[in-house]
Each structure stands twice: as structure tokens, then as C-alpha cells.
């Protein structure tokens, strides 16, 4: 991989290619808000305080990458809703990893007032951990890349 | 949170605050390379094909945020090694989440030649999944934010 951002999309590295799609931090905040139930342009705009043209560009890219799909607000409506596709919904793990890292690493004790919970039990989610296929915990130096 | 990037660092959202630190995609690629054993300025530069001044700025920020620490290359050397701190090492989960999402969502079948493996067994890591504390799988619509 060379130093140009445009090369990331064809890199032989899944991290680089992911970052090419969602490495723009606004995009992940839009996806975060979609998980919280937002669907309409105005809802995203109000929540993020983002200029219309910037939000519009980001949403177009996310639709073209297959992370959101556009649906009419109601039958025959010219307004659109932006709904996560299965590819977009799979970003829930990445968002949870960002949340949990931030929770542990970027706040003073007691400063963060909210946490990720299971909607059914209302109890905090388990911490995401690297594991081998037989369930052993894998530490930060316990993994590497290998040929398939 | 308003629309200015500088507001992210004080947002009451762990995702926003994480992105404030590592939402610049070069930073995550530097951390990725550190997990693969790179420590020296020149090693990062060659691997990423990045201009010296850009790499230097990113490394300084990562050191000031406590993600890397600087150590001398050898006793009395004026050259430095950049070594992940525990805070930096905890990013392994985020990198694995990026890898696994990209692997599933951004490549054609058979296109990606490498995968994340456990260094001991050389078998692929288990897929990261959201789970409740009693071990049930939690789907992409199965979590929310709640007060602690």
C-alpha cells in the first residue's frame, strides 16, 4: 500500500479497505445515529449539527457503498428514509468496539454516564474479546495474519 | 455534540471520543503496523509510504494521547522506538473488528488471501460478536445505550 488514500480501497488488507469505506469519522457517527433509530435527513442533521452539503455527500457515499439503502418516507412520498442494510448492520460490532475502547480509555472514572446494554435484560453487554475458535482468550500479542 | 471536530473530544459518547483520538485513518494504520512488529520511524514510513512530516505529526499525537510510548532504540541512542502502551494494545479488538467487517463486506469471495489467526494454533480467530453478560448472542438491533 502506498501513501495515497485512494489506494486503500484496493489494498490487500481488510483493515485498510474498511477504513476506505468508513474511515471518515462522520460516516461512523451517521451509522451510530442510525442504530439509535434515526432515518431521516433532518434527524441526522439535527443530531450531528452537520452542514447539509456535508451530510448529503456522506449519505450518498454510504448508499453507494451499500451501507444504507434509501426508501420512501411513505408510499408515493418524494422524501427518503435512510435504512441500514445487512452490511451496515454488521458495523454494530465495530461501533461497540469503539464504544468499549473509549469507555475504558478516554474517560475519567464516573465521567461517562451511559453504557451499552442488552435491550432485553438492560444489563451491560459483555466486553468484546479476541478468542480462538475453541473459546480461549487471545491477548493483544496473540494474533497475527496468515495465509488462508 | 455540534458539528465541529474539536467538540468530539468532550462529547458524552464513547464512540465520538474514541474517534477524536483514532478516527484519523492513518493513526489506525500506524497502530496496525505496530501490532505487526514495527517500532521504528523508518519502518512505519516504508510500510505506509507516508511523508515524513505527516507520519511525525501522527506519531506525536499518538504519543501525547498515551497510545504509544517512546523508548530509546538502544541504551544511550538518540533514536527512538515507538511501542504500544496498554491503552494502545487494547485497540487490538477494534482492529480485529475492522478486519472482520472488511473481510466479510469489502472483498469478493477468494479475493482476500490472508486472515487473522491465533499465533499458537494458527487457526482463524473466532468472529467477534455482541453478547450479553450471560453469553447470549445479541443482534444488531439488540443493544442500546442506558444510564449506568
Residues in B closer than 8 angstroms to A143, CB to CB, are 92, 96, 116-119, 125
- Structural domains present in chain A: 5-85 (1.10.10.10), 91-140 (no CATH)
- By the 10 Å C-beta count (0-12 exposed, 13-18 middle, 19+ buried), B36 is classed as exposed
Q: Is A43 helix (H, G, I), strand (E, B) or coil?
A: helix
Count H helices, E strands: chain B?
A: 6, 4
State the residue for C-alpha cell 460490532. Answer: A93
- Considering only CB atoms, B25 lies closest to which of A23, A50, A130, namely A23
Predicted pLDDT at A76: 82
Minimal Cα–Cα distance from A77 to chain B, Å?
Answer: 26
Q: How far is Cα B6 from Cα B67, in angstroms, rounded to an integer?
A: 19
- The DSSP string of B14-70 is HHHHHHHHH-SHHHHHHHHHHHTT--BHHHHHHHHT--HHHHHHHHHHHHHTTSEEE
Tell me if B66 sits within 8 A of B86, measured CB to CB: no
**DSSP one-letter string for A73-125:** SSTT-SSEEEEE-HHHHTTHHHHHHHHHHHHHHSS-TTT--EEEEETTT-PBP
Of B14, B17, B140, the CB nearest to A89: B140
- Kindly determine whether residue B105 and residue A18, on different chains, have CB atoms separated by under 8 Å: yes
B5/B19 Cα distance (integer angstroms): 10
Identify whether the C-beta of residue A90 lies closer than 8 Å to the C-beta of residue A35.
no
Asked if the model's pLDDT at residue A25 lies above 60, the reply is yes
What is the reported pLDDT for B58? Answer: 93
Partner-chain residue, chosen from B18, B47, B146, that has the shortest CB–CB distance to A101 = B18
Query: What is the C-alpha separation between B106 and B3, in angstroms, rounded?
Result: 29
d(CA A103, CA A111): 9
Write down the mean pLDDT value for chain B.
Answer: 89
pLDDT category at A7 given cuts 50, 70, 90 is low
Q: Taking CB atoms and an 8 Å limit, are B14 and A91 in contact across chains?
A: no
Residue A87 near residue B105, CB atoms below 8 Å: yes
* CA–CA separation, B91 and B88 (whole Å): 5
A4 pLDDT above the threshold of 60: no
CA distances in angstroms from A34 to A19, A83, A84, B96, listed in the order given: 19, 7, 7, 23
Set of cell numbers at residue B96: 480485529
- Over residues A98-125, the pLDDT tens digits come to 999 999 998 888 888 899 999 999 999 9
Per-residue model confidence (pLDDT) at position B1: 34
Enter the pTM of the model: 0.90
Query: How many Cβ atoms from other residues are within 10 Å of residue A49's Cβ?
Result: 12
ipTM: 0.90
A/B interface, count of CB pairs below 8 Å: 268
What is the C-alpha separation between A58 and B42, in angstroms, rounded?
35
User: Residue B89 has which C-alpha cell?
Assistant: 494494545
* Yes or no, beta carbons of B132 and A116 under 8 Å apart: no
B29-78 pLDDT per residue, tens: 999 999 999 999 999 999 888 899 999 999 999 999 999 999 998 888 88
Contact criterion met (CB below 8 Å) for B116 and A145: yes
Residues of A in contact with B89 (CB under 8 A): 140-141
Amino acid at each position: 500500500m502506498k501513501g495515497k488514500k485512494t489506494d486503500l480501497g484496493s489494498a490487500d488488507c481488510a483493515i485498510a479497505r474498511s477504513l476506505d469505506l468508513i474511515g471518515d469519522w462522520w460516516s461512523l457517527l451517521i451509522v451510530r445515529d442510525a442504530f439509535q433509530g434515526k432515518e431521516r435527513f433532518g434527524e441526522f442533521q439535527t443530531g450531528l449539527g452537520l452542514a447539509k452539503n456535508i451530510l448529503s455527500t456522506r449519505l450518498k457515499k454510504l448508499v453507494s457503498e451499500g451501507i444504507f439503502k434509501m426508501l420512501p418516507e411513505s408510499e408515493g412520498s418524494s422524501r427518503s428514509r435512510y435504512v441500514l442494510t445487512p452490511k451496515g448492520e454488521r458495523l454494530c460490532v465495530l461501533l461497540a468496539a469503539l464504544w468499549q475502547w473509549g469507555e475504558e480509555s478516554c474517560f475519567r472514572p464516573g465521567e461517562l454516564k451511559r453504557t451499552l446494554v442488552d435491550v432485553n435484560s438492560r444489563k451491560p453487554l459483555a466486553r468484546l474479546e479476541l478468542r480462538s475458535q475453541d473459546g480461549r482468550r487471545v491477548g493483544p500479542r496473540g494474533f497475527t495474519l496468515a495465509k488462508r
